[in-house]
Amino acid sequence: MTGNTPAEKPERIAKVMARAGLCSRREAERWIEAGRVQVDGVRLASPAVTVAPASVILVDGRPMPKQQPTRLWRYHKPKGLLTTHHDPEGRPTLFDHLPEDLPRVLAIGRLDITSEGLLLLTNDGTLARTLELPATGWTRRYRVRAFGRVTQKDLDTLAQGSTVEGVRYGPIEAKLDSQQGGNAWITMALREGKNREVRRVLESIGLKVNRLIRVSYGSFHLGGLKVDDIEEISPAALREQLGAPYGVARKKSAMKKKPVSQKHKRKAHADHRRRS
């Protein structure tokens, strides 16, 4: 490969911070506006700054970590965990729940507290942002159980997109797999992944979701990954799916799974019961 890699080109400071795994680009912009970031001895007031590879960047007075090779993990998120780093209400979050030897990671997209299934995690904030954008074309696929009766004809109307309470949702592919008593099982595929999109769109046609499982995100699948297990995607698979410069070879390191504390289990179960 010839030419500069992304790490060698001058780039916006927020993008550099995100790629280093410190935070998301939006968080980086907020940190900069709060005066927490210095470049070559100058405290920044705006994120509209380009930095060079040789720039000295300090965050909260400490040197920014060196950029690490991009890494990606599949995680089978259980119900009862929030996809956030901090919760004002003190509810359990998946980031408190992950193995202790995992580096700081960001979630690619979100799953709400009552949803489960595949969640991709990465140490590269730029990659996370890229794969979340609808323009990237990465399809999210779900298995959904919903209370109510529906026909395939009803579901076909979602392929044209829909507007629910003033919010416009893009086209959704939906297939009726089975109707068991008062519940329907549906497979759904969408590209936007707006907040609670599946639940709101199905409510608009008279269905109430009572189980939602993400089974794939783009070319990455949940497969046989057990609930609460995490598995790193190999550098070869990263190169195949994302292209250069992703998937740089690195030394293998053992990663032990942190056991779920009984306290978190009880609290997650209690939170789920309150919301049921």
Alpha-carbon distance of 139 to 153, in angstroms, equals 22
Alpha-carbon distance of 98 to 67, in angstroms, equals 22
Residue 103 CA: distances (Å) to CA of 97, 131, 196, 231, 271: 13, 20, 28, 14, 28
Residue 87 known to be catalytic: no
Cα of 157 vs its chain's centroid, Å: 28
Alpha-carbon distance of 62 to 205, in angstroms, equals 53
Cα of first residue to Cα of last residue in the chain, in angstroms, is 54
Residue among 129, 130, 14 at smallest CA distance from 64: 14
Alpha-carbon distance of 216 to 222, in angstroms, equals 6
Residue 155 CA: distances (Å) to CA of 144, 169, 213: 13, 14, 18
* Residue whose pair of structure tokens reads 């829909």 in the numeric block: 162
Residue 273 CA: distances (Å) to CA of 93, 227, 276: 17, 19, 5
Residue 169 CA: distances (Å) to CA of 3, 110, 163, 242: 40, 17, 6, 27
Map residue 34 onto helix, strand or coil.
Answer: coil
Pick the catalytic residue from 40, 60, 96, 112. Answer: 112
Alpha-carbon distance of 168 to 146, in angstroms, equals 22
Alpha-carbon distance of 48 to 29, in angstroms, equals 9
- The catalytic residue positions are 112
